[in-house]
Structure 1
Amino acid sequence: MFQDNKEEALKRCNAICKNTLMETLNIEFIDIGADFLTASMPVNERVHQPDGVLHGGASVALAESVGSAASMMFLDISKVFVRGI
């Protein structure tokens, strides 16, 4: 999918995040290549612990989101079922 149109692949990745945790955390897929998928997540009060530092759960949510999305992009999903990394 992404080899033909990188921008379209990123648009589709971001579109499927609507009304999900990824949207809540403002995770956005920003780059894709033959062997990588990159996303960003703002580090602000929405993902801070009460003492003002980044919550580890937010980091895990970012990693899980990117890993799962990359699996969907790079694997033949007609042959495997991706559910969490």
Structure 2
Amino acid sequence: MGMTVESEQLIKDTFGRGLDSSLGLQLSEVGGDRVVATLELSEKHHQPFGIVHGGVYCAVAESVASVSAFTWLQVTGIGGTAVGVNNNTDFLKSISSGTLSVESAPIHRGRRQQLWRVTMTDDQGRVIATSQVRLQNVELPEGVEVPTIPSGA
């Protein structure tokens, strides 16, 4: 499902705040079928023993899956948003620095729930962590303004 440059930028601006901003997560590609992001790892992402804290991978997976789920709801015309209800993250290799590349892929997308796989790789293309994030499709909470992406955009 393709999107316009304007639609993609609206989503990047909407989700590039809060924890994502604190972590340094950068969305580089946003679409209804996948999201690609990067994270420059540094000491601020470490646990006490000098490697990236597992919670960073969980948070990145949750964010990328949420953007993926929201975008799919918009481009299909279903609307609303999606909230995480389960995050299962496996840590496969430990690293301390470099660029973490993150990519989502849908496993299931339905009227009520979505399931996304999120794969995180290092500079050498090694899989560092992988997640499955299940999200519930919901109406936007009252008073929350989220930019509307035209269906089929």
TM-score by length of structure 2 reads 0.47
1:25, distance to aligned residue in structure 2 (A): 0.3
In 1: Cα distance, 2:26 partner to 2:18 partner: 12
2:70 paired residue number: 72
TM-score by length of structure 1 reads 0.79
- Structure 2 runs not aligned, ≥5 long: 85-134, 136-153
Give the aligned CA root-mean-square deviation in angstroms.
2.0
1:42 paired residue number: 40
1:17, distance to aligned residue in structure 2 (A): 3.3
Identity %: 27
- The residue type paired with residue 36 of structure 2 is T
- Rg (Cα) greater in structure: 2
In 1: Cα distance, 2:11 partner to 2:29 partner: 10
- The residue type paired with residue 23 of structure 1 is S
In 1: Cα distance, 2:32 partner to 2:13 partner: 21
Figure out how many residues of one structure are paired with residues of the other and give that number.
Answer: 81
- The residue type paired with residue 82 of structure 2 is V
Within a 5 Å distance, the mapping from 1:1-85 to structure 2 comes to: 3-5=2-4, 7-75=5-73, 76-78=78-80, 81-84=81-84, 85=135
C-alpha contact (below 8 Å) 1:10/1:32 kept by paired residues: yes
More helix by share: 1
More strand by share: 2
Q: Secondary structure at the match of 1:68?
A: helix
C-alpha contact (below 8 Å) 2:28/2:37 kept by paired residues: yes
Per-residue CA deviations over 1:8-41 (Å, capped at 9, x if unaligned) read 3342222123540000001111013452111111
C-alpha contact (below 8 Å) 1:3/1:34 kept by paired residues: yes
Larger RCO (CA under 8 A, 6+ residues apart)? 2
Q: Which moved more, 1:25-34 or 1:53-62?
A: 25-34
